[in-house]
Amino acid sequence: MLEQAALSPPPLIGPRSAETFGRARRVFPDGTTRVTIERDPIPRYMHHGESAFLVDVDGRRLLDLNGNFTTLIHGHAFPPVIKAVTHQLRSGCCFANPTEIEIALAELLCARIPHLDRIRFVNTGTEAVMFAIKAARAFTGRPAIAKIEGAYHGAYDWVEVSQAATPQTWGDPEHPAPTLHYRGMPRAVLDDVVILRFNNAEGARRLITEHAARLAAVLVDPMPSRGGLISPTPDFVSAIQETARRHGILVISDEVLNLRQGYEGASALYGLAPDLFALGKIIGGGLPIGAIGGRSEVMAVFDAASGRPALPQGGTFSANPLSMAAGLAAMEALDRAAFDHLERLGDKLRIGLERIIARHGAPLSVTGAASLFRLHPRRKPPREFRETFLTPREVAVMTELTRFFATEGIVLPNAAAACLSTPMDEDDIALVANVFDRFLNQRASLLDTIKG
Ligand code: PMP
């Protein structure tokens, strides 16, 4: 059993958050409106954000390594976004007509991202993934998709399959079982989803070929965050690309999160040439957004020039000018120098954390790239989702790590990607490394409870 005394004192969350949560529980089932909100045991209510920092309703200031789930690449209240959105708000926030600003954001993205010839805007990453899959179906006339076990792609039924597979449900490693995600989910969904294991090139080749006649697309996130934030191996990338191409199956790259890896996005970094992209998060500058993009020939499914489009796509708030203005301001500021800065800080942090782990001989490892990192209670970095599955003791260690960081004034996401933002500098990296070093010093006995 874990010694209670070995853990951080729980509250950390002040009385105002506690009181607010009491109110919230009377109106929201489970007290919040997002399952992803972290709580220990209650959530921290935020008062405001300033640059790389958050200030909660009890006045605690914390370095933000969450950035609203990696969205806020410039941190909070980024002045160019404030200026652009304020200006737009005065001119109206949405119309049943297109605006010039949506073209400007589209031009910027199409100019930067290889293979992104045409684009359509929606409001969330979930919608972007959903329409990318529908576009692949409309283009190929086939119903099914292949996706990676444990990868998160939002809340569309087909992509929720095996999102939270467990050792009890995931089945044979060579033929991973598609698993249901919620009670009452139609079992028919499972018939149209083939599950691949990340970085298993041979398995991907075999399974895609086996199901080729039914597959519209292979949906891949180049570095699935909830799947472990693990780098793809070159042979896995080429196995997907080549096998899909051979059978006329489209490759959809979900870069809702990983676009932040570089000026041209993540696919370009890992040698993937997608037919379609799903985008979101950073391209909205902190406002709700999603986008589907890709090769002109495939994106023609949205084209109504010769009558009804093969795939109709609308949306009351799609391409709303506030999101467009915020996104354009954020993306314009995200030049190559900004990505270089983030990459330098990210490398420095990951190397620093690895050195500290080695010095302590701790049963931990680090994964990630560019501005993203994730810590694992594993001596060797995991190579795929199944290796990231945690025992209750390992969960306890990671919970304690997040709690310790919170005590020291840093928000560290527990089971997802942590991220850096452009306002951060070397001092912030040093602070994170120092707090981690202290954690390993002060929680050595807790770490001894896991094998790693
Ligand atoms: N795909 C990926 C890779 C994501 O990380 C997310 C969100 N975390 C989504 C899709 C869904 O995006 P949204 O929450 O905007 O619907």
What is the C-alpha to C-alpha distance for residues 133 and 140, in angstroms, rounded to an integer? 11
Average pLDDT over residues 419-447: 97
Give CATH for domain 11-73+336-447.
3.90.1150.10
Given this structure, which CATH class describes domain 79-333?
Answer: alpha beta
Quickly state the pLDDT bin for 414 (edges 50, 70, 90): confident
The DSSP secondary structure of 381-400, one letter per residue, reads: --SSGGGGPPPHHHHHHHHH
Each residue's pLDDT tens digit, 109-142: 999 999 999 999 999 999 999 999 999 999 999 9
Cβ 74 under 6 angstroms from ligand 1? no
Task: Report the alpha-carbon distance of residue 235 to residue 354 in Å, rounded.
Answer: 26
229 lines ligand 1 (CB under 6 A): no
> Cβ neighbours of residue 26 under 8 Å, at least 6 residues apart?
none
CA 431 to ligand 1 centroid distance, Å? 29
Is the distance from the beta carbon of residue 257 to the nearest atom of ligand 1 less than 6 Å? yes
Angle at 268 between CA 297 and CA 387, to 5 degrees: 110
> How many A from CA of 228 to the centre of ligand 1?
15
The CA 125 to ligand 1 mean position distance, Å, reads 5
User: What are the structural domain ranges in the chain?
Assistant: 11-73+336-447, 79-333
From the CA of 288, give the closest atom in ligand 1: 15
CA 125 to chain centre: 9
Name the average pLDDT for the chain.
96
**274-310: per-residue pLDDT in tens?**
999 999 999 999 999 999 999 999 999 999 988 999 9
Percent of the chain with pLDDT over 70: 98
> Radius of gyration of the chain from Cα atoms?
22
Q: Which of 359, 389, 365 is nearest to 377 (CA)?
A: 365
Residue 31: burial class (beta carbons within 10 Å; 0-12, 13-18, 19+): middle
Cα 285 to middle of ligand 1, angstroms:
15
What integer pLDDT is reported at residue 4 of this predicted model? 43
- Return the pLDDT at 5: 41
pTM score, two decimals? Answer: 0.96
What is the tens place of the pLDDT at every residue in 1-52?
Answer: 344 445 544 447 899 999 999 999 999 999 999 999 988 889 999 999 999 9
Place of tokens 């191409």: 245
Strands (E), 102-257: 118-122, 144-148, 193-196, 215-220, 250-254
Structure token digits, residue 20: 């607010």
